[in-house]
Every structure is written in structure tokens, then in C-alpha cells.
Structure 1
Amino acid sequence: MKRVNGIMSLIDIEALRATPLKTDPYEYLVVPAFVTGKALDSVIADFPNIESTGSIPPSELDIYGSFEQLLEEMNGPEFRKVIEEKFGVDLTGRPSMFTIRGHCARNNGKIHTDTESKIITVLLYLNQEWEAGGGRLRILRSGTDLNDAAEEVSPNGGTLLVFKRSDKSWHGHEPFEGQRRAIQMNWVRDEDVVAHEQRRHRFTSTLKRLNPFGSRASRETTGAH
């Protein structure tokens, strides 16, 4: 880890830079220890208190300490530059947005590709060790078979998964219900996408705070990462 503005960095940019890009069945990469050791411990300790399912914008949470620093580093120019180099994309002028997940509903994990407005999806898992059979994201070769996977990514603490969104960027996971912490970051087409998505997530997160694991959560079928 190196220092950024006199502060020890929480992310391992060199590990990301050294990780080869995979192209089967689409462009993605996995960095198992992007955040590790004491850095991981401090980020998990500062993970915001989330008691509902669904994706929540940072603006709706109490963000502080190492967790806040982590978001700032992921949103920084060096991280963006490496992602541009890896995936051969120019993200200049493309806005980024974050959502945070703390819990998974039983119906999450349906196979999907992400919306066309997204360019790059970044997932960082913050769960310490993962022992459950479900909740492990699968890189899929089709939109119909959860078992036709090129790779299964366990959401262990500090594991980074990045992929380029396309019409074949299928992914999903076996059912899991319970605590499953993750940061999702996306570079998207334009600011209108950010505004729309943040409004949508704020609305649903408000409903789920009122009824964290009630009927609405049980009906949720959107794909969780």
C-alpha cells in the first residue's frame, strides 16, 4: 500500500494493475485482496449501519472514517485510469455513482446484465470470510442457466470484481438471505442516469427502512450483486 496525500492508501492499486483481464464470456477481472489486512478491518469497522435489503445511496447513510476514505479512493483519478487501461475505455466526462448493500433478500441474485446506461460495474465485497453456499456471484455464459458459469466469485472481504457492461454480461447468484455487505460503483452514460438512479434508490431505501424485511423485500426480484 502507498500513501496518498500523507495518508496510507486502503486499496492495492498495484494488485489491480497486475491482474489480467479475462474475456470469456465477457470482459471482467477479479482481485481477491484489493483491500486487506488492517485496512480491511478498519473499513469493515466503519461500514454504515444498514438494517434493510436493497441498494442504498451513500447520501442516505452515515458515511465516515475509513469507509469514507475508501469511497474517495475508488472515486479517484488513479483508480479510474487503471480501469480505463484495463478495459480500453475512455471514462472522461462519464460520471460515477455508488450504492451500498448491507443485506441480501432471498429473491435477490436473479440473472441479469445491468442496464444499458452503465458502462463499467465495480463491486467490492466487505464480509470477512464467506462460508455460505449461496450469495457467490457467478460470471455466466447465458441468461438462462445459473450453472453455466465461467467463474464463481465468493464475496469475501476485500475482493474486487469489475466488468464491462454488455448485452452478454450475464451474472447472478444462488439464493442467500442475511448480511451480505458490498459497495457497487458504476461509471454511467451521463448525469441524468445518476439523478434517476439515485432518486429510485432513495425512494426504495426509504420504504425498506419503514419495513426492512417485510412483504416488499420478499417480493424483490431485481438482481443483486
Structure 2
Amino acid sequence: MLRTTAEFTRTSGPIAAHVATGILTESAVRELDAAYPGDDRFEKVVFSSPVKRFRLGSLWLSRDGKRLPAAERLPAVWSQLLDDLDGPEFTARLEEVTGLALAGLPRDTGLFTHAEGEFISLHHDEPEKALTVVLYFNRDWPADGGGHFEVRASHNPTTAPVRSLPPVAGTAVAFDSSVWHATSTVTTGRTLRAAVLEFWRDRPQR
């Protein structure tokens, strides 16, 4: 299901993210989109601190490759995707792309959503996090719908993004904790759908 050999390109600058398009087949995108959990399955999370703010829906599916109860209630197509995301082949590919040693690190895999008006403010991740991978499932996302993943050169919000990626189905973004990034506010009536894979050097308590 996951094209683990998909080519990743590096955004410009000394601190950069790695982007792959077409990492899911079109048939996989259709199946996953049709079987995406309803909004009522997600925990609504609103967070605000001096360094980060966000509003999103969250549904964790696996921890260190072991399925959580929420995953067992999803259609089989999601089990196939989790097998690929948590599998050694994709981990090895991410190591090749990023130069990071990821095998054996604690990991969490889940889904998240952004409804209209939701966002993630400009920030970089805590140093305990080794790598984050975001994978999008949004077919025919409107050009003016917001929800773009923004790679930034610094914490200065007035500078233009180094790259602004629409949340198009089959796009994956991999980035380490040094990368300044944000998700722009969703401005369409549609809900943004994505998966996240997190590798931890030292995982905090959830």
C-alpha cells in the first residue's frame, strides 16, 4: 500500500524537511478516504502555551508497533497501512532519507484532523522527538482551503515560508525537531485528514 521507494526531496536551507508525493497509490487513497473514521471518534485537543498553540482532532492507533484499541475498531485497510508505516522497510527508507538512526526507537502512530478554523502555530518540536512523518489523505483539496504544511527558516512569523505544501492525498513530510513548521488555518468547510508517525529519543508521558 505504501510506496516505500518513493523519492523524497529536501526543502532548501540548512534546516530542512523531506517531502514525498505519490507515496500512496490512487486506489489506496480512495480506500483510506472512504474508510476514514468519523469526527466523533477523535479526541478534540486545544492547546496553548508561550511556544505553541494548536487545535485538532487526535486518534492514536499504535504504540511501538502494537495496535491500540482504537485501531482494532477500524476497517482492515487501516491495518494494512499501519503495517507499512510501522514496518522495518519504511523505517529503513526514512533512515536513508534523513540520516537518522530510527530502528528500535519508541514510536507512536495515529490519525489527526483539522476542522475549519483549526491550525498549528509556528514552532519546532521538543528535542526528545527524533522525527515526525505526516501523511495526507485529502483528495481534491481546494487551493484556497488552507491547512498547508509550512516549513520556515526561523521562528519569525513575518517571513514567508521556505515551502508551503497543500495537504494533498499521498503527500508525506518527514522532519526532525530542528525544523520550524506550522499548519495554516483551515478555511474550507472540509475536514483535513492526515496520519502522523512519531519517533522518540525519550518519549514523554501522554
Scaled by the length of structure 1, the TM-score of the pair is 0.73
- Identify the residue that residue 80 of structure 1 maps to in structure 2: 91
Residue 161 (1) aligns with residue 173 (2): yes
Distance in 1 separating the partners of 2:173 and 2:84: 16
Aligned-pair Cα RMSD in Å: 2.0
Residue 67 (1) aligns with residue 78 (2): yes
- Identify the residue that residue 33 of structure 2 maps to in structure 1: 44
The structural deviation recorded for 1:25 is 4.6
Amino acid at match of 2:60: P
Distance in 1 separating the partners of 2:132 and 2:18: 11
Residue 121 (1) aligns with residue 98 (2): no
Residue 180 (1) aligns with residue 192 (2): yes
- Identify the residue that residue 180 of structure 2 maps to in structure 1: 170
- Identify the residue that residue 221 of structure 1 maps to in structure 2: none
- Identify the residue that residue 13 of structure 1 maps to in structure 2: 4
More strand by share: 2
Amino acid at match of 1:48: P
1:72–1:85: structure 2 CA closer, same or farther, 3 Å change rule? same
1:176–1:145: structure 2 CA closer, same or farther, 3 Å change rule? same
Distance in 2 separating the partners of 1:189 and 1:69: 26
Please state whether the residue corresponding to 1:78 is helix, strand or coil.
helix
Gaps of 5+ in 1: 1-9, 198-225
Q: CA offsets per residue over residues 117-159 of structure 1, 9 Å max, x none?
A: 2111100001112113411111011212264211111101111
Alpha carbons 1:118, 1:187 under 8 Å: kept = yes
Please state whether the residue corresponding to 1:54 is helix, strand or coil.
strand
Gaps of 5+ in 2: 45-55, 62-67
1:46–1:56: structure 2 CA closer, same or farther, 3 Å change rule? same
Please state whether the residue corresponding to 2:93 is helix, strand or coil.
helix
Q: Percent of pairs identical after alignment?
A: 26
The structural deviation recorded for 1:27 is 3.0
Scaled by the length of structure 2, the TM-score of the pair is 0.79
- Identify the residue that residue 19 of structure 2 maps to in structure 1: 30
More helix by share: 1
Please state whether the residue corresponding to 1:165 is helix, strand or coil.
coil
- Identify the residue that residue 56 of structure 1 maps to in structure 2: 59
Q: CA offsets per residue over residues 183-225 of structure 1, 9 Å max, x none?
A: 01111114x53xx13xxxxxxxxxxxxxxxxxxxxxxxxxxxx
1:104–1:24: structure 2 CA closer, same or farther, 3 Å change rule? farther
The structural deviation recorded for 1:87 is 1.1
Q: CA offsets per residue over residues 8-46 of structure 1, 9 Å max, x none?
A: xx111221xx33334525232111211131111112122
